[in-house]
Amino acid sequence: MSDPFQLDLTQRPRRLRRTASLRALVEETVLRPQNFIAPLFVVEGRGAPEAIASMPGVFRYNVADLVKECRALAKLGVPAVALFPKLESRLKNEEGTAALDEDSLILRTVRAVKKAVPEITVVADIALDPYTNHGHDGVLTPARDDVANDRTVGILVKMAVLHARAGVDLVAPSDMMDGRVGAIRRTLDSAGFTSTGIMAYSVKFASAYYGPFRDAVGSAKAAGTHLLGKQTYQLNPANRREAMIELALDDAEGADILMVKPAGPYLDIIREVRNATSKPVAAYQVSGEYAQLHAAAKLGWLDLARTRHESLLAIKRAGADMILTYFAKDMARILA
């Protein structure tokens, strides 16, 4: 006897959702440990890892402990790490001169990681915010009301060569200065580092989601940070077309990998970028995205494991080939 409420449907998409095995057969987007880049923070000294209050489960490591963390990540199948230093205040100044110290904390860390875990890809940030006492990504204009673009680029190219010499696989200019990708590419090539790649922060928005990261690297309370925003060099979150101009410029200037930052609030931009280039696309699930999931889970409002997975799946589905995420180690454990 037929069901009087049965609909006369030829197409029933639910047929392919009926069992776990059917759902697996038609799954379109799959996360793997190889999709992740783990951001790591390094500090001087030999002390125990320092917990970062606004980023549960994330630490600042001394060099030796950071090397151990890299080794553990590699064993889990995570192919890359992105390194960020937290400097002592006494080493910071207006010009960020510590960025050009040939024996700086970050360069010693790069050398240690590449010696101990040569198989892991090391990404190094190229920007001055960890080194300046005002917390900005470059040197300021004489009036201290903006960042001086060309002077900053002149410092960044030297910084990139030092990192390449230390052994990084990818330099990652995150400063958003005009012309810096082309200048870095030309300088690296002239110095003989033609194999050193550039992962450009091509589409980096002036986002409110960066707060915990600035705590982690010690730039949040730097003098002037709250008086001068980063809107003159980072992108307006309202602007899609401007984002694509920045992308096209970095692509043409020789970036090997193009990044969108933040990731979760900008899935539409990630998709636009994916459609506009054949080069690999990276997306950075930033500290604020990470912190808000932990905070909601702590209050019992969200399931951390499920929202963590879903957030990363959405970023990859939008078009990212690789994701910088503080969840890298936990996700690799689960996926492995």
**Annotated catalytic sites, by residue?**
204, 261
- C-beta of residue 123 within 8 angstroms of C-beta of residue 166: no
Place of tokens 């999931």: 293
- C-beta of residue 41 within 8 angstroms of C-beta of residue 86: yes
Instruction: Determine the 3-state secondary structure of 93 from DSSP.
Output: strand
Strands 322-324 and 80-85: unpaired
The C-alpha atoms of residue 314 and residue 63 are separated, in whole angstroms, by 33
Phi-psi region at 176: left, alpha or beta (left = phi > 0; alpha = psi -120 to 50): left
DSSP letters, 46-115, are: SPPPEE-TTSTT-EEE-HHHHHHHHHHHHHTT--EEEEEE---GGG-BTT-GGGG-TT-HHHHHHHHHHH
Residue 257: beta bridge partners? 199
- C-beta of residue 122 within 8 angstroms of C-beta of residue 166: no
Instruction: Determine the 3-state secondary structure of 199 from DSSP.
Output: strand
Place of tokens 């040569």: 118
The C-alpha atoms of residue 143 and residue 161 are separated, in whole angstroms, by 30
Find all residues with CB under 8 Å of 228, minimum gap 6, and list them. Answer: 134, 136, 140, 144, 145, 146
In this structure, what token pair is assigned to residue 320?
Answer: 């990212």
Instruction: Please report how many Cα atoms fall inside a 13 Å half-sphere around the Cα of residue 6, on the Cβ side.
Output: 7
Task: Give the alpha-carbon dihedral of 107, 108, 114, 115, to 10 degrees.
Answer: 150
Burial class (CB in 10 A: 0-12, 13-18, 19+), 314: middle
